[in-house]
Chains A and B, each alone.
Chain A
Amino acid sequence: MSALTHLRQLEAESIHILREVVAECQRPVLLYSIGKDSSALLRLAQKAFHPGPIPFPLLHIDTGYKFREMIEFRDRYTAELHVKLIVHTNQAALKEGSTPFAWGTQRCCGALKTTALLDALRDGGFDAAIGGARRDEERSRAKERVFSFRDARGQWDPRNQRPELWNLFNTRVATGESLRVFPLSNWTELDVWQYIHSENIPVVPLYFAKLRPMLVRGDSLLPVEQPFVPRLLGEQPKLVKCRMRSLGCSPCTGAIRSDADTVPRIIEELVTMRRSERQNRVIDYDQDGSMEVKKQEGYF
């Protein structure tokens, strides 16, 4: 008997994690962000609790600035799955005029995402929040636990993490403390797309390339969704064949130029992005011309 394929192993591991949360925590909730990882997570939850229903509600922290297509997808898909959806928005901050331009991204995210999330978790009395974050997303997440402890103020202390061995998860918390649980910890972006492909999982159409009106600024493509996004003098949106690699708030999510209009073509794009020559891969995202400095110092 041969070993399970990597996708089947990752799937089984995630199902095991989801069942552990439900077996050991009092009031779990799934943080639903509408993106591809959330879609994969929902399918895993369906599998984990079959033939029963998904035994926890979904919580969407709606900043008010999500793409229209995201909200449409959210409402349609969660209704199809017969899951309970809680939507929470920090209305007070919106009334005060929180936008990334007026407040800066840090303060805006802090109010519309972090504060909103902590409030919603407290209001719901949730002791475990299941999220779709992956360790490969960025270096600082490489050490995040699958069951990640949060103190009574909802904060993470990276200096004081519980060791996590085998698949034996320590789910014990005192009153007021909580856990964040990441069943997709060991998945990569490519794994998620392969799974979406093999399982035929619905995702928001924004992931697929099509002609969309965009503000084109150098290599950056800014979606035209919110009226408050400031325009440069005389700037008009152009139709560009593009797609979103990840989904967030429209003012802060750039698109990438792409022809990938199906899941297999997205996978192909991801693979070739990885495999391209170094010169092509090193794209200067910086605004301060640091690539110039590198070139001067002889990197290339």
Chain B
Amino acid sequence: MAAATALPAPDTFEEFLEREQAKDLLRFTTAGSVDDGKSTLIGRLLYDSRNVYEDQLESVTKASVGRNSGTIDFSLLTDGLRAEREQGITIDVAYRYFATPRRKFIIADTPGHEQYTRNMVTGASTAELAIILVDARKGLLPQSRRHAYIASLLGLPHAVIAVNKMDLVDYDRDVFAAIESDFSLFLSRFQSMEPYFIPISALAGDNVVSRSARMPWFHGPALLEYLERVPVGNRAQRAPFRFAVQRVVRPNPEFRGYAGTLASGHVRTGDPVLVSPSGRRTYVAGITTFDGDLEHAQAGQSVTLTLADELDIVRGDLLAAPTEPPEIARSLEATLVWLNETPAQLHKRYRLKHSTRQEWAELKHIEYRLNINTLDQEPAQTLEMNAIGVVHIETARPLAFDNYLKNRATGSFILIDPVTNATVAAGLLSGPAAPHAAPSDPHSVTWRMDHGSLVVSLGGSTHSTGPLPVSDPEALAALQRFLEHLQIVPPDSEKK
């Protein structure tokens, strides 16, 4: 079995070391349920790329012996889950590490069934690629659609659709083709994501590390080969310059610098920068690092910038390219993924952490909740754990940000409950919140009080009761509570 990933052997040890140092890094996430063979696939990737230590292997062989003599159960290599279930620990995201001669990999391994939304969103938040496993015998299931939707929501540029268990369908080309065509149609809704379809057998090792002789009809690279070659880090490099100030550095009266990480783009000494949200402009005077001053820095680097003018800049300020400024708003539209057992509460104030900034933020309005199985928009008064919804949020002070799909680092935030300190939601910013529009959903019901009349909007049509014989404000309040109890939404603009 010729490894598809073979590189010519280095001539000297120095050459080998240089090559090791020059590797880049791909972070990917895996989605699929236990039955899809996800653990087996990861175990196979680690084992066949020779990234398994003696002790790991030993513990696996211990467990496999007696069950299935003579073969290794690859799923056990990564199956912390088994032990965790016995111990009653929450099933959660686990991180795994491996390397090939070309690249290092970090896998965010997320369980497929329980808490799948919360876990997959967490795993996908740092990933550039998702492997979505599909069982060849079962075809495209609702959960595959959910996984693809979450990958696209989180802005992953690449997805591998691994049609697994091809050995159980006799490596049939038509089975693969049917799934590919089904899934392609669904995925065409998510323009930003580039899918790669591949037929594999994780158990038998087909098309995992090496191309399979049993599927000569498939001409694409094996899974590992694809993972080694897929371009990484491009989006952040191409996006405009963004740099959130982490700390103001003043070790002595002569030096005043701003420490931070380039969220995106590039910066050079002498470049003009816009300070948000204050709107002031200045120039980069220097890029300071422990290893000496730099002329140039790129997305992902942690540096300290000095600026030409002494401006009042604090932690949380965003330095940006003036030609491509960030958006600045207090009223924000965002997609929220609810992560906590306590559901979202309208009009509650949360701590919002965005880049290096923390603000008070109020959940003003829930536009809709997304039905993750049908992708339909449903009216909602709250978001339960694992729910995804589009909301309006208002921050105490203006926030400088970008649309999440344009810039992950400046388009993401988390919400923290100020009492329990729990991280309750993940947020993806889309833009400033539009003034509240009349609902177009035919099933939605809203109401408002207008000169003593109750006006109810049912989808497109509006109905008024005419002036109500209610002069008692308490009776009116009781009516309002009743309507709220029925989860009928008052328009945001009328509530102020």
Contact = CB atoms under 8 A, between A and B. Distances in A.
Interface of A: 1-13, 15-16, 19-20, 22-23, 46-53, 135-136, 139-140, 142-143, 158-170, 172-174, 185-186, 188, 190-191, 194, 197-198, 264, 267-268, 271, 273-275, 278, 281-283, 285, 290, 293-294, 297-299
Contacts of A10: 25
A16 B89 CA distance: 30
B261 interface: yes
A3 B421 contact: no
B246 A19 contact: yes
Nearest to A12: B302
Given A135-B95, A143-B93, A163-B118, A6 B25 contact: yes
Contact of A136 (B24, B62, B97, B247): B97
Contacts of B5: none
Contact of A52 (B89, B109, B251, B416): B251
B97 A188 contact: yes
A72 to B, nearest CB: 26
Given A4-B298, A48-B259, A282-B58, A20 B21 contact: no
A166 to B, nearest CB: 5
A4 B233 contact: yes
A48 B303 CA distance: 8
Contact of B96 (A142, A281, A293): A142
A15 B302 contact: yes
Contacts of A285: 55, 58
Given A52-B249, A170-B421, A194 B21 contact: yes
Query: Which secondary structure dominates chain B's binding surface?
Result: mixed
Contacts of B61: 282, 294, 299
Q: Which of A4, A169, A283 has the most CB of B within 10 A?
A: A4
| Chain B interface category by residue count | 35 or more
Contacts of B247: 19, 22-23
Q: Which of A165, A167, A273, A283 has the most CB of B within 10 A?
A: A165
Query: Which secondary structure dominates chain A's binding surface?
Result: helix
A201 to B, nearest CB: 12
A166 B408 contact: yes
B288 A50 contact: yes
Given A165-B125, A186-B97, A1 B298 contact: yes
Given A15-B261, A22-B247, A50-B290, 7 more contacts: A9-B300, A16-B246, A47-B302, A143-B93, A165-B121, A169-B353, A282-B61
B302 A16 contact: yes
A3 B95 contact: no
A295 B356 CA distance: 56
B95 A143 contact: yes
A49 B92 CA distance: 33
26 contacts: A5-B21, A7-B21, A9-B24, A51-B288, A143-B93, A160-B90, A163-B423, A163-B426, A165-B126, A165-B414, A165-B423, A167-B126, A167-B261, A173-B421, A186-B95, A188-B99, A190-B99, A268-B13, A271-B16, A273-B54, A274-B53, A281-B57, A282-B61, A298-B69, A298-B70, A299-B70
Contact of A48 (B291, B302, B351, B408): B302
A49 B249 contact: yes
A136 B94 CA distance: 10
B89 A166 contact: no
Nearest to A9: B25
Contacts of A8: 300-301
- In the A-B complex, the 5 residue pairs with the smallest Cβ-Cβ separation, listed nearest first, are A3-B233, A52-B251, A15-B302, A6-B25, A50-B290
Nearest to B351: A172
Interface of B: 13-14, 16-17, 20-25, 50-51, 53-58, 61-62, 65-66, 69-70, 80, 88-90, 92-97, 99, 103-104, 106, 109, 118, 121-122, 125-126, 232-234, 237, 246-247, 249-251, 255, 257, 259-261, 266, 288-291, 298, 300-302, 304, 315, 339, 351, 353-356, 408-409, 412-414, 416, 421-423, 426
Contacts of A50: 288-290, 304
Contacts of B259: 19, 48-49
B302 A264 contact: no
B23 A5 contact: yes
B422 A47 contact: no
A159 B341 CA distance: 13
Q: Which of B50, B257, B290 has the most CB of A within 10 A?
A: B290
A4 B17 CA distance: 17
A16 B58 CA distance: 37
A225 to B, nearest CB: 25
Contact of A47 (B14, B22, B58, B289): B289
A54 to B, nearest CB: 11
Q: Which of A10, A47, A167, A197 has the most CB of B within 10 A?
A: A167
B104 A6 contact: yes
Given A143-B94, A170-B423, A186-B95, A194 B20 contact: yes
Contacts of B261: 12, 15-16, 167
A285 B232 CA distance: 40
A172 B251 contact: no
B62 A294 contact: yes
A161 B57 CA distance: 29
A15 B422 CA distance: 25
A8 B55 CA distance: 29
Given A48-B302, A52-B249, A172 B17 contact: no
Q: Which of A20, A23, A169, A268 has the most CB of B within 10 A?
A: A23
B50 A275 contact: yes
Contacts of B53: 274, 281
A165 B122 contact: yes
Contacts of B93: 143
A136 to B, nearest CB: 5
Nearest to A263: B17
